Copies of this chain bind each other. A is one copy, B any other.
Amino acid sequence: MLERTYIDDVSAEDETTTIAGHVHDTRDLGGILFVMVRDRTGTMQAVFKEDREPELFAEAEELDRETVVQLGGEVSETDQAPGGVELVPTDLTVISEAKEAPTMEISKDVDADLSTRLDNRHLDVRTPETRAVFSLRSKAMEAMKQYFYDEEFEEVDTPALSTAGAEGGADLFPVVYYDKEAYLSQSPQLYKQLLVAAGFDRLFEVGHAFRAEEFATSRHVSEIAMFDVELGYIEDHHDVMDVQEESLRAAIEAVQENAQRELELLDADPVLPEEPFPRLTFDEALDILEEEFGHFPDDPTDLDTKGERLLGEHFAEQGHPAIFVVGYPEEKFYYKQGVEGDDVASRKFDLIYRGEELSSGGQREHDVDRLIEVMEEQGVNPENFEFYLDAFRYGAPPHGGYGLGIDRLIKGLADLDNVKEAILFPRDPDRLEP
C-alpha cells in the first residue's frame, strides 16, 4: 500500500506525517499557497511558502483540483485550519493528474439541482456531503446487521429472478430469460416464510426489490434496497415489532456514536426514539387525524401520505419520531386476521418514521386451512398459490416479519429531501443511468 495516514488520524502531537488524497481546492495568496487535500475521512490544509521552498512551491502551483497527491511534511498547529492542524509539506508526489476541470462544482456548497447531481454522480460523490450520506449508510447497515447476528438471526439469500410473482400484476418488470419469461422480485416474503416454516427460525436478508410503479415522488424508486426479517415461534405481531424496534434503535445509536462527522456535514440529528415506540391501532390513528387535524384519508381502510405525515408530526412533538400503526381493517390474505379476541382486524403493522412509512409487516397466517379460507373470502384462487401453500402443509411455526426500506431509512437518518439522495445510482421511470 502507498504510505499515508488518514487525515482524521493526524493530530497536533504528530511531528511529521504523510497524507494522500484529491486536491479539493487551492488558494494562492501570492507567495503563499493553500492546498486543501481531501481523503475519505476529511480535508486538511497544506501550506506552501515560496520563500522557504521555491521548487516545491512551483510544483504545487501547477496542481489542478481533483489531482491525486501524496504529501509528506511537518504537522503544525493552527487555529486557521479545519481540524486545528495544517501540513507544511517537504515532499509532493503527484499520483494521478486530473486531465480536466470537473464539469460540476465539488468543493463549494453544492446547489446543483438533484437531477444534475445524479446525471453527474461520478463527480457528485466527490463532494464531502454526498460521501457523508454513503459513509453513514454503511455504518447504519453494519450496526443493523450486527444486531441480527447478535440475536442469532441467520442471513439468507434468495433470487431476484422468478416466474410471475404470486400476486402477479402490472408492477412487475419482465425479463427475457433464455426462452422463458421471468420477472424481477418485488419481495422475498414467500421465500422467507417458506424457510421459517421449514425451521430456519430467525432470518434476515438484504437485497433489492423491483417495482415498476410510475410514481414520481420524493419517496419512490424502481429498484429498492430492502432489509427483510422473518422469525418463528412468535406469540403475535408484537414480537415482530419488538425486533424491529430494537434493531432500529441499534442502528440509530451506532450512527449517533460512529457517524458524528457525517451527521455534522449533513446537519442531521437523528433522535434516538424512546422505547417502546407508540403502537396505536388504525382506529386510534384515524381519531387523531380527525380530532387534531380534521383530516380524513380518502381510503377508509388505509392511511394516505398526508395522514402518515401528520401522524409523524403529532408524535414527533411528543418525542416519538417512530410509531407503529397496527390492525388495518382490510389486509392481504397472508396476514393473520379475524382472530377471535383480537382488538384489531388484522395483525399487520406499518412503521412510520419521521412521517413516512418505513416498513410493513405483521404476523402471517401459518395455518394452511385458514389461509385457503381467507383466500376464498377475498376472491383469490388458491390454485395460483400452490408453491406458497405447500410450504405450510407440513407443519409451520407461528411466524411474522417485515420488510424495511433501507433507502427511506437513510433518507430519514440523514435528513434528506429525496430518497434518491440516499441511493448511489437510483433508478426511476426516467433514470436508468449512470
A155-B142, A174-B175, A234-B2 known; A102-B40 Cβ under 8 A: no
Pair B138/A199 contact, Cβ less than 8 Å: no
Q: Is A1 an interface residue (CB 8 A)?
A: yes
- Of A90-98, A280-288, A347-355, A375-383, the segment with at least 4 beta carbons within 8 Å of chain B is A90-98
- For chain A, residues 376 to 402, give those with C-beta under 8 angstroms from any C-beta of chain B: 387, 390-391, 393-398
CB distance from A262 to the nearest CB of B (A): 11
Q: Is A177 an interface residue (CB 8 A)?
A: yes
Q: Is A29 an interface residue (CB 8 A)?
A: no
Q: Is A249 an interface residue (CB 8 A)?
A: no
Pair B198/A122 contact, Cβ less than 8 Å: yes
Pair B368/A199 contact, Cβ less than 8 Å: no
- For chain A, residues 142 to 163, give those with C-beta under 8 angstroms from any C-beta of chain B: 142, 145, 149, 154-163
CB distance from A141 to the nearest CB of B (A): 6
Q: How far is the CA of A154 from the CA of B142 in the complex (A)?
A: 9
Which residues of the other chain, B, contact A225 by a CB distance below 8 angstroms? Answer: 157
Q: How far is the CA of A66 from the CA of B395 in the complex (A)?
A: 5
Q: Which residue of B lies closest to A203 (CB)?
A: B138
With most chain B CB atoms within 10 A of its CB, the pick from A96, A157, A184, A426 is A157
Q: Is A135 an interface residue (CB 8 A)?
A: yes
Pair B175/A184 contact, Cβ less than 8 Å: yes
Q: Which residue of B lies closest to A135 (CB)?
A: B154
Which residues of the other chain, B, contact A342 by a CB distance below 8 angstroms? Answer: none
Q: How far is the CA of A234 from the CA of B262 in the complex (A)?
A: 26
Which residues of the other chain, B, contact A96 by a CB distance below 8 angstroms? Answer: 366-367, 395-398
Q: Is A125 an interface residue (CB 8 A)?
A: yes
Pair A397/B198 contact, Cβ less than 8 Å: no
Q: Is A123 an interface residue (CB 8 A)?
A: yes
Q: How far is the CA of A432 from the CA of B178 in the complex (A)?
A: 10
- Of A205-213, A269-277, A300-308, A323-331, the segment with at least 4 beta carbons within 8 Å of chain B is A205-213
Q: How far is the CA of A307 from the CA of B138 in the complex (A)?
A: 40
Q: Is A20 an interface residue (CB 8 A)?
A: yes
Q: How far is the CA of A214 from the CA of B178 in the complex (A)?
A: 8
Q: Which residue of B lies closest to A100 (CB)?
A: B393
- Copy count, this protein chain: 2
A142-B149, A425-B191 known; A134-B156 Cβ under 8 A: yes
Q: Is A235 an interface residue (CB 8 A)?
A: yes
Classify the interface of chain A: helix, strand, loop or mixed: mixed
Pair B157/A424 contact, Cβ less than 8 Å: yes
Query: Out of B1, B233, B367, B425, which one reaches A1, CB within 8 Å?
Result: B233
Tally of A interface residues using CB under 8 Å: 98
Q: How far is the CA of A390 from the CA of B225 in the complex (A)?
A: 27
Q: How far is the CA of A243 from the CA of B194 in the complex (A)?
A: 37
Pair A138/B160 contact, Cβ less than 8 Å: no
Which residues of the other chain, B, contact A212 by a CB distance below 8 angstroms? Answer: 177-178
A68-B397, A99-B394 known; A40-B199 Cβ under 8 A: yes
Pair B433/A162 contact, Cβ less than 8 Å: yes
Query: Out of B174, B195, B369, which one reaches A424, CB within 8 Å?
Result: B195
Pair A178/B429 contact, Cβ less than 8 Å: yes
Pair A159/B39 contact, Cβ less than 8 Å: no
CB distance from A266 to the nearest CB of B (A): 16
Q: Is A176 an interface residue (CB 8 A)?
A: yes
CB-defined interface of A220-238 with B at 8 Å, one 1/0 digit per residue?
0011010000000111000
Which residues of the other chain, B, contact A394 by a CB distance below 8 angstroms? Answer: 66, 98-100, 102, 122-123, 126
A-B contact pairs, 21 of them (CB 8 A): A2-B234, A38-B199, A39-B201, A95-B397, A96-B398, A99-B368, A100-B393, A122-B197, A122-B394, A123-B394, A125-B200, A126-B199, A145-B145, A159-B208, A159-B426, A160-B208, A160-B223, A161-B222, A174-B176, A175-B175, A178-B212
Name 5 extra pairs, CB < 8 A, besides A40-B154, A161-B427.
A97-B395, A100-B393, A159-B425, A161-B173, A387-B433
Please list the 4 inter-chain residue pairs (A to B) with the smallest Cβ-Cβ separation, ordered nearest first: A66-B395, A138-B154, A98-B395, A66-B394
